[in-house]
Amino acid sequence: MRDALILPLGGERTGAENSVLPARSEAKGALMGSKNKSTARSHGGKHWVQLPEWVLRTEAWRHLSVGARALYIELKRRYKGKNNGAITLSHREAAHLLGLHRNSVGKLYRELQDKGFIRMMEAAYLGPSGIGKTARWALDEYSTDTDYKPPLRRFKEWYPEQNPPNSKKDAPSQTG
């Protein structure tokens, strides 16, 4: 538990912002392997987002843009212990939370997918009543609760290319 960054959620200031870990009595359920995951993820009625040190040390995390990191934290806020594979966050809502234009959020989702942090379980679609349904996401850090597959953790195997093309003129030609 010492090798993790834990961030409080919500707008209220509790004075615990300077402390990385909650008091031992508050975290007892989380430290002792509580069977109820939803209780293990909250301390004293407050929800926390935990970013384990082993995730933060990966090359994929180090190469994520600031916006992609913020989006990952927002997606992780919606993980309640039993809904991995059914996490929803629309582009509009993500843009509002991150203070971005809704058209710029798509590239952040793609970046997280390309580096192996998230995967789409169900694509967004227009429902039969004409109301749009948002995509459903899974965090690769955890096993999925919808199809019970083990965690893929593809981000652990991601490494930057040796010489990535910087512009279109550096990219390989498509003509023969």
Per-residue pLDDT tens for 8-27? 665 444 444 444 444 444 44
pLDDT of residue 146: 86
Q: Give the containing element (helix H, strand E) for 147.
A: none
Answer whether residue 118 shows pLDDT above 90.
yes
Q: What is the CATH number of domain 58-160?
A: 1.10.10.10
pLDDT of residue 170: 52
Q: Domain boundaries in the chain?
A: 1-52, 58-160
**Lookup: tokens for 7:** 């961030």
| Global confidence as pTM | 0.69
Q: Could you give the CA distance from residue 110 to residue 144 in angstroms, rounded to a whole number?
A: 20
Taking a C-beta distance cutoff of 8 angstroms, is the pair 92, 107 a contact?
no
Give per-residue pLDDT as tens, 40-90: 455 566 778 999 999 999 999 999 999 999 999 999 999 999 999 999 999
Q: Which residue has the higher pLDDT, 45 or 158?
A: 158
Per-residue three-class SS string for 109-125? HHHHHHCCCEEEEECCE
Q: Which residue has the higher pLDDT, 116 or 5?
A: 116
Per-residue pLDDT, averaged over 157-165, amounts to 75
